[in-house]
Chains A and B, each alone.
Chain A
Amino acid sequence: EPEVTQTPSHQVTQMGQEVILRCVPISNHLYFYWYRQILGQKVEFLVSFYNNEISEKSEIFDDQFSVERPDGSNFTLKIRSTKLEDSAMYFCASSGPGNIRYNEQFFGPGTRLTVL
């Protein structure tokens, strides 16, 4: 069964450093998402991406965040200058293709980001 994969599984970085979290969505999907979950809290939507552009973003997704689909398979989340409060589990999800009505989202296993 196809699945969403994410790398790395755990990323440790120093405050102020840039990090790139990588995701490989399911191959025929067209919609891509990033969510995050701070330890002990609920899952929060960050951004959705369709047709090579951001379709929606939350208040959390400020100028420090960016997303990119650099090739036909990867979907990345970049945090330019990490803060302590960016420590969280980051989940990538995908859905589609576009002619499927119900669009259930398939989630990856997550990347745990720890900012020191």
Chain B
Amino acid sequence: DAKTTQPPSMDCAEGRAANLPCNHSTISGNEYVYWYRQIHSQGPQYIIHGLKNNETNEMASLIITEDRKSSTLILPHATLRDTAVYYCIVRVVGYNQGGKLIFGQGTELSVKP
């Protein structure tokens, strides 16, 4: 079973920041937080990941609380093309490890004009 909890759905106005929360209260010290999204029925797409520091890339920012029990994915300027299901996943990674991804139900983000 997924080890994360996310709200089932959220709305966001186009051009505004979308803040997607995730609870992972049972995360262990060697587990990373990953975010993926799935647009329509396309293959899931990697967004970002982090361990304990905040991370930013060209797609999004990831804010992880100090106790690592929750995180927030931020899409700074949401567009209609960001409408998708967003998945928060925790997993162990390391050198030469190819661990499975366990998807929950995710958050269905609707970006509205």
Binding site for B on A (CB under 8 A): 4, 30-31, 33, 35, 37, 42-45, 48, 50, 55-56, 58, 89, 91, 93, 95-96, 98-99, 101-110, 112
Contacts and interface: CB of A to CB of B under 8 A. Distances in A.
Contact of A110 (B42, B45, B93): B42
List 9 A-B pairs, minimum CB-CB distance, nearest first.
A31-B98, A107-B43, A43-B103, A104-B46, A45-B100, A98-B96, A42-B103, A91-B43, A107-B44
Contacts of A56: 99-100
Interface in B42-70: 42-46, 49
Contacts of B44: 43, 91, 105, 107
A110 B43 contact: yes
Contact of A30 (B32, B49, B87, B98): B98
A102 B92 CA distance: 9
Given A44-B103, A101-B95, A107 B41 contact: no
A24 to B, nearest CB: 13
Given A37-B41, A43-B44, A104-B34, A95 B98 contact: yes
Contacts of B103: 42-44
Given A42-B104, A56-B100, 9 more contacts: A30-B98, A31-B98, A42-B105, A43-B87, A48-B100, A91-B44, A98-B96, A102-B32, A108-B43
23 contacts: A30-B98, A35-B101, A37-B41, A42-B103, A42-B106, A43-B38, A43-B103, A45-B100, A45-B101, A48-B100, A93-B43, A96-B98, A99-B96, A101-B93, A101-B94, A101-B95, A103-B98, A106-B46, A107-B44, A108-B43, A109-B43, A110-B42, A112-B41
Interface of B: 32, 34, 38, 41-46, 49, 87, 93-106
